[in-house]
Amino acid sequence: MKKVININFQGRVIPIEETAFETLKQYIESLRRYFANEEGKDEIINDIENRIAELFTEQLKKGDSCVTDAHVEGIIASMGRPEDFGEVEMEPTQSQKQYSQEQTYTTYTSASEAPRGALHRNDNDKILGGVCSGLAHYLRVDPTIVRILFALITLGGFGAGVLLYIILWIILPAASLTTNLKKRLFRNPEGKIIGGVCSGIAAYFNIGVWIPRLIFSLPLVLGMVTGIFHNVFNHDFDPFPNILFSGFGGTLFIAYIILWIVIPEAVTASDKLEMRGEKVDLESIKASVQGELQGVRGRAEKMGEDFKVKAQAWGEEFKNTAQAKAQSLAADAGPAARRVGSGIGHAIGVLFKAFFLFVAGIVVFALLIALMAIIFSGAAVFPLKNFLLEGFWQNFFAWGALCLFLGVPVIAGITWLVRRISGAKSSNKYLGYAFGSLWLIGLVCFILLIGSIRRSFDTRARIKDDITVVQPPTGKLTVKVADSKVKYYGGWFRGGGILTIDEDSLILNNVRLRIIKSDDSLYHSYSIRYSYGNNPAIAERNAGRIVYQIHQSDSTIYLDRGFTVSEDTRFRNQRVVVTIAVPVGKRILIDRSVDRRLSWDEINVGPRDYYYEDDDNENSSWWQSDVEYIMTPGGLERVDKDRENSNNDEDRQRVQEENQQKNEKKYKYKKDSLETKPEKKDSVKPVKTVAREEEQKNENEESENSKSGKASTSFLSPFQQLLAIGN
């Protein structure tokens, strides 16, 4: 079944099959291109079209209802394709241009055996100046190869290629050269995904199109796979993997862009034939025509030597006609001229296209990687799930969201990639529908999950406990965080107020310390435990289950390292706020361990913010660790405040010292997290790991203490200096 269309062809209405019309159109286009440099090309084309129209009419008169593919093929065969009459036809044109004895000789030999002649720039086939094309003609290779080499020289040699090209452009004379190759590398517009490069390469080497595609996309796929493993095993998320830019992949990416620019697109039918070498169904026609020509040519070549002289005279006569002039005019009007203009435009266009494609590719790729990362980090958060999700439905929704909402796009993406590479053209819309609906289900699950979890954080409860404080005799209170028996490590959840996760318990250090002014002359302290829940009762129960100890020894208050949330309590953003009231005129020192070991991060999942609704919140003062403060009627003040102005040098020295300490501490902190290696070589190495850790810990603490001690002596030192002077 074929569609028949009516065309107006040379003033006749011809019913013709659509496919036949396409063939015909391409054929006439190829003729038009072939005769582009010919004077009176319109007339030639017109004559040929006329003849074809006549043949069509004859065909229709015979009783056929329309012109078919077979008719058109037959007519094209009898008229001959440009490739077929190329050898006979183009040579007069050449001989008209080339006068020398040697060059005239090319007229009498077949093109493929033609001597190379002089090195020219090729006017007929050029992107910039036709240098590459001329060079290729001289070397008898595909211009594309020369262009690629030039591009590589330019890229690798810091512009040496450009210089070379310009020199050659200036030196070499221009000439209209006809191709001396049977097969050329083209980009194939019929089988393209991006630029048709892979498809063209496949056609040139006569291999399956998936081979070059696989090669070009291999680094992408490999990168993706290694990226996943990288994510899973190293927990190290890199949203822009170095796939596109580094090593093999980058080279291929650049290579593709270069090929895109350099390789011409197979536009006309003859281009497409050249791309594949020769078409099989033309083979027989060619063979028969050429076989007969061969005999004549054989004889003609024998008489060539003698005949040449006379033919030359004959050629002279032709040359004197208007044709010589027309040649130069035709060069301007022909597609050669069009190519000059479009060459640079094409390169720029491709660069732009490549750029946008590159950006789009990066975006898509980043999205894909992000999705993967979410899935795999989801797997890593897996243990947390038990503390967050409640009941069957939440778990169900969580799994649904994970598999469908996140998994489906990834699978769809991979499917799409595979189908594109394998060149599957069949648009299976059910596949799209299936993916789409699954994803929608996933989306619904996700929304329900979010809603459900949100409901678990609906109400908040707070429990206030007073803590009795033994008044310190020195008038100075120090706050520290106690050492825990077990050392926690693992960078994943440290930041979020979550210290660590066990099989059945979650340890949070979501604790905040507030300093306020005491109403009387005594130190006071109280802690408030907060938790969320589905309803007030559950929230209160959750808050009640927080066990956070505060104890005092002498003038030091020790805070717990964190508090435990058991699996059946679940994570409901529990937190503790410890408030210490300092009377006016008394001092407080907050150890650095408070800053370091308790989390300051606020997870505001609840409908309202925590602290601002606390009525006594406005009284609380901002503090800095490791700085001694004194409570004044206006709030906390640094003890060393006065000295800042009076003793600048000393102060500067102290600041320097402090900075140094900070750096040292940072360094130590880092080392803390590397739990296995002993910190110092000369430290004693106990047998048990835990014991060693503890010892290390103590050592750290000691050094810290000594440092804070040093800090305090350093700002006491002015007094000592005064004493020293007094002495």
Amino acid residing at 389: L
Q: Using alpha carbons only, give the angle 465, 466, 469 rounded to the nearest 5 degrees.
A: 145
Asked if 590 and 623 count as a contact pair (C-beta separation under 8 A), the reply is yes
Of the candidates 56, 150, 563, 571, which one interacts with another protein according to CB under 8 A? 56
Which stretch, 43-51, 334-342, 456-464, 710-718, contacts another protein (CB under 8 A)? 43-51
Burial label, 61 (beta-carbon count in 10 A; 0-12, 13-18, 19+): exposed
Smallest separation (angstroms) from another protein to the CB of 55: 8
CA 141 to chain centre: 37
Smallest separation (angstroms) from another protein to the CB of 294: 10
Which residue, 9 or 623, is less far from another protein as judged by CB? 9
What's the per-residue H, E or C state across 607-622? CCCCHHHCCCHHHCEC
Residue length, the chain?
A: 727
Smallest separation (angstroms) from another protein to the CB of 68: 18
Q: How far is CA 191 from CA 144, 202, 211, 256, in A?
A: 19, 10, 14, 16
CA 295 to chain centre: 61
Nearest residue to 223 via CA among 425, 417, 380: 417
Of the candidates 23, 107, 178, 509, which one interacts with another protein according to CB under 8 A? 107
Smallest separation (angstroms) from another protein to the CB of 22: 19
Q: Using alpha carbons only, give the angle 609, 383, 224 rounded to the nearest 5 degrees.
A: 100
Which residue, 333 or 691, is less far from another protein as judged by CB? 333
Which residue, 313 or 725, is less far from another protein as judged by CB? 313
CA 57, CA 60: separation in Å to the nearest integer? Answer: 5
Letters for 550-579 (x = contact with another protein by CB under 8 A, - = none) are ------------------------------
How does 547-572 read in b/e, with b if 16+ C-beta sit within 10 Å? ebebebeebbbbbbbbbbbeeebbbb
Residue 330 lies near another protein (rule: CB under 8 A): no
CA 570, CA 356: separation in Å to the nearest integer? Answer: 48
**Interacting residues of 241 by C-beta distance below 8 A, sequence separation 6+:** 223, 227, 230, 369
Amino acid residing at 537: A
How does 328-358 read in b/e, with b if 16+ C-beta sit within 10 Å? eebbeebebeebbeebeebeeebeeebeebe
Which residue, 94 or 531, is less far from another protein as judged by CB? 94
Which stretch, 86-94, 220-228, 276-284, 688-696, contacts another protein (CB under 8 A)? 86-94
Amino acid residing at 50: N
The pair of structure tokens assigned to 558 is 């020790």
**Interacting residues of 337 by C-beta distance below 8 A, sequence separation 6+:** 331
Smallest separation (angstroms) from another protein to the CB of 116: 21
Smallest separation (angstroms) from another protein to the CB of 265: 25
Letters for 8-27 (x = contact with another protein by CB under 8 A, - = none) are --xxx---------------
Which residue, 15 or 80, is less far from another protein as judged by CB? 80
Nearest residue to 354 via CA among 279, 259, 281: 259
Task: Count interface residues toward another protein (CB under 8 A).
Answer: 56
Smallest separation (angstroms) from another protein to the CB of 331: 17
CA 331, CA 96: separation in Å to the nearest integer? Answer: 14
Of the candidates 7, 53, 337, 366, which one interacts with another protein according to CB under 8 A? 53
Smallest separation (angstroms) from another protein to the CB of 340: 24
Residues 59-78 that bind another protein (CB under 8 A): 61, 78
Residue 334 lies near another protein (rule: CB under 8 A): no
Q: What are the helix (H) ranges across 8-40?
A: 18-34
CA 556, CA 470: separation in Å to the nearest integer? Answer: 10
Of the candidates 50, 474, 535, 553, which one interacts with another protein according to CB under 8 A? 50
Nearest residue to 451 via CA among 439, 461, 463, 443: 443
Smallest separation (angstroms) from another protein to the CB of 338: 21
Of the candidates 16, 17, 67, 95, which one interacts with another protein according to CB under 8 A? 95
Smallest separation (angstroms) from another protein to the CB of 325: 12
Nearest residue to 512 via CA among 603, 594, 612: 594
Which residue, 310 or 688, is less far from another protein as judged by CB? 310
SS3 307: helix
What is the 8-class DSSP label of residue 427? -
Residue 216 lies near another protein (rule: CB under 8 A): no
Smallest separation (angstroms) from another protein to the CB of 44: 5
Residue 462 lies near another protein (rule: CB under 8 A): no
Residues 296-325 that bind another protein (CB under 8 A): 296-300, 302-303, 306-307, 310-311, 313-314, 317-318, 321-323
Of the candidates 17, 39, 123, 640, which one interacts with another protein according to CB under 8 A? 39
Residue 82 lies near another protein (rule: CB under 8 A): yes
Asked if 586 and 639 count as a contact pair (C-beta separation under 8 A), the reply is no
Which residue, 39 or 626, is less far from another protein as judged by CB? 39
Q: Dihedral, CA atoms, 667, 669, 675, 679, nearest 10 degrees? A: 40
Nearest residue to 548 via CA among 513, 519, 585: 513
Which residue, 313 or 687, is less far from another protein as judged by CB? 313
Of the candidates 26, 36, 66, 85, which one interacts with another protein according to CB under 8 A? 85
Nearest residue to 544 via CA among 459, 461, 456, 458: 461
Residue 31 lies near another protein (rule: CB under 8 A): yes
Which residue, 98 or 696, is less far from another protein as judged by CB? 98
**Interacting residues of 592 by C-beta distance below 8 A, sequence separation 6+:** 625, 626, 665, 704, 708
Letters for 268-297 (x = contact with another protein by CB under 8 A, - = none) are ---------------------x--xx--xx
Query: What are the counts of helices (DSSP H) followed by strands (DSSP E) for the chain?
Result: 23, 17
Which residue, 11 or 156, is less far from another protein as judged by CB? 11
Nearest residue to 460 via CA among 562, 568, 547, 538: 538
CA 455, CA 469: separation in Å to the nearest integer? Answer: 39
Smallest separation (angstroms) from another protein to the CB of 137: 21
Smallest separation (angstroms) from another protein to the CB of 25: 16
Residue 88 lies near another protein (rule: CB under 8 A): yes
Neighbours of 207 (CB within 10 A): 11
Of the candidates 2, 5, 6, 54, which one interacts with another protein according to CB under 8 A? 54
Letters for 674-693 (x = contact with another protein by CB under 8 A, - = none) are --------------------
Smallest separation (angstroms) from another protein to the CB of 264: 24
Smallest separation (angstroms) from another protein to the CB of 90: 10
Smallest separation (angstroms) from another protein to the CB of 155: 43
Neighbours of 359 (CB within 10 A): 10
Which residue, 317 or 649, is less far from another protein as judged by CB? 317
Of the candidates 20, 37, 72, 81, which one interacts with another protein according to CB under 8 A? 81
The footprint of another protein (CB under 8 A) covers 10-12, 31, 35, 38-40, 43-44, 47-48, 50-51, 53-58, 61, 78-82, 84-85, 88-89, 91-92, 95, 107-108, 289, 292-293, 296-300, 302-303, 306-307, 310-311, 313-314, 317-318, 321-323
